[in-house]
Amino acid sequence: MEIQPLTNKKSIETNKVLLIIGILIVAVNLRPAITAVGPLISDIRADMGITNGVAGIITTLPLLAFGVFSLAAPRLGYRFGNEMMIFAGLFTLLFGIIVRSTGFAAALFIGTAFVGIGIAIANVLLPSIVKTKYPGKIGLITGAYTTTMSAFAAIGTGVSIPLATGLNLGWEGALLFWSVLVVIGLVLWFPQVREARSGKQAADAAGKNKLPVPGTTIWRSSLAWQVTLFMGLQSFLFYGLITWLPVILHNSGLTLSFSAWVVSIMQIAGLPMTFLTPILATRLKNQQGIVTMIAGLYVIGFLGLLVSEATWLFVLSAILIGLAQGSSISLALTMLGIRAANGKQAAELSGMAQSVGYGLAAVGPIIIGSILDITASGTIAIYVFIGVAVLKLFAGLGAARDRTV
């Protein structure tokens, strides 16, 4: 009789470790399948015979999928369980990566859409799991998984060309490479599906799963809309930059390979901010100071790109932008937890912010690509980035208030 409590305690601790590992491996897979595309755009364009504007759709399709399926994810998570739906999201991501790597034009776009669907489901439901399982450590856990996500986003950008040309895999093989990590993710996340299923069966037997389906009143909240705009505008900047900054830098005189590494450096530079910002944010009464700092770093970095002539100045400007981006994405995800009252509300807010937000972000790569087609210069595109950063400041100041939706 005395051994059972000790056994249960060990089992609980093991489950906590497995959950953290699971959250991190899911985070590993949330960006590389998208960020790997930017440096390969030129090869894809040449192979497929498409314009910059059409090529931008390759990055936009996942964002459109985010917009549509982020709305459905909270209800799917409620119906089938967050853990099960994240597993399904990873499987969908794997299917999409394989399909789009076949080298056919139609498969490229269809597979890319499935990539977006899979990532959308996990994007929305992870904040809900963090809010539910770690209500007192939202900043720490969010910082850890967001940093992991951002690190592999940077790796995805940096190794694309070496995989495609250095290892002679071509753009198809370079994109297919990321399926390996998804398979690992499926294996390491499966214990959470099994654990959740056991817990649900016990709750059903006890009659504890009779709660109503979450409603939609969150859409009437002005604070929820400010969080949504903050998420959307930071996503506009992120996806616009990872898709077209290599081209913008290349047009400014840098080699395409080095331009890709500058974008990778930009993402790596933001990693410390990605980890530290959520921890700081949860200790502050409001986060308006952080929002103001983010806007300042963005604007200074973009202005640096406009006046840069030396290589080191391009790199420095990219680092400043990376600091802003790293802080921005983790603050946006943290707000999904700290602006919500409970786990279900966090899922609803996450679904709203990521559906509308990514729908807004979806136009980014197309707009920037079209501007580059028309002007053959990155100057106007950088001015657009500056304007978006200013708009993001105003949305963020409202979202950073010490309130819940």
Examine residue 30 and state whether it is found in any structural domain, yes or no. yes
Examine residue 405 and state whether it is found in any structural domain, yes or no. no
Examine residue 337 and state whether it is found in any structural domain, yes or no. yes
Contacts of 75 (CB under 8 A, 6+ apart): 213, 214
33 neighbors 93 (Cβ within 8 angstroms):
yes
**Comparing 317 with 17, which gets the higher pLDDT?**
317
CA atoms of 225 and 356, how far apart (whole Å): 9
pLDDT at 388: 94
Average pLDDT for the chain: 85
Q: How many domains does the chain have?
A: 1
Q: Residue 52 above 80 pLDDT?
A: no
To the nearest whole percent, how much of the chain has pLDDT over 90? Answer: 37
Residue 252 carries which side chain, given as an amino acid letter? S
354 neighbors 246 (Cβ within 8 angstroms):
no
CA atoms of 178 and 235, how far apart (whole Å): 22
Section 361-368 average pLDDT:
81
The CA-based diameter of the chain, rounded to the nearest angstrom, is: 77
Could you report the per-residue pLDDT of 310-331, keeping only the tens digit for each? 888 999 999 999 999 999 989 9
- Own/partner long-range contacts of 76-82 (Cβ < 8 Å, ≥24 apart): 76/121, 77/124, 77/125, 77/128, 77/347, 78/213, 78/214, 78/344, 78/347, 81/193, 81/196, 81/197, 81/200, 82/125, 82/128, 82/129, 82/132, 82/196, 82/347
Could you report the per-residue pLDDT of 229-262, keeping only the tens digit for each? 999 899 899 888 877 888 888 888 888 778 878 8
347 neighbors 74 (Cβ within 8 angstroms):
yes
Q: What is the CATH number of the domain that holds 303?
A: 1.20.1250.20
Examine residue 291 and state whether it is found in any structural domain, yes or no. yes
Domain that holds residue 234: 3-399
Cα angle 180, 183, 184; round to 5 = 90
Backbone angles phi, psi at 2, to 5 degrees: -85, -20
- pLDDT bucket at 375, cuts 50 / 70 / 90: confident
Q: Residue 210 above 50 pLDDT?
A: no
pLDDT at 9: 65
For 96, counting Cβ atoms within 10 Å of its Cβ (0-12 exposed, 13-18 middle, 19+ buried), the class is: buried
Section 34-39 average pLDDT:
84
Examine residue 192 and state whether it is found in any structural domain, yes or no. yes
Examine residue 404 and state whether it is found in any structural domain, yes or no. no
Examine residue 279 and state whether it is found in any structural domain, yes or no. yes
CA atoms of 178 and 156, how far apart (whole Å): 8
CA atoms of 229 and 235, how far apart (whole Å): 10
Examine residue 281 and state whether it is found in any structural domain, yes or no. yes
Q: Specify whether the backbone of 213 is left (phi greater than 0), alpha (psi in -120 to 50) or beta.
A: beta
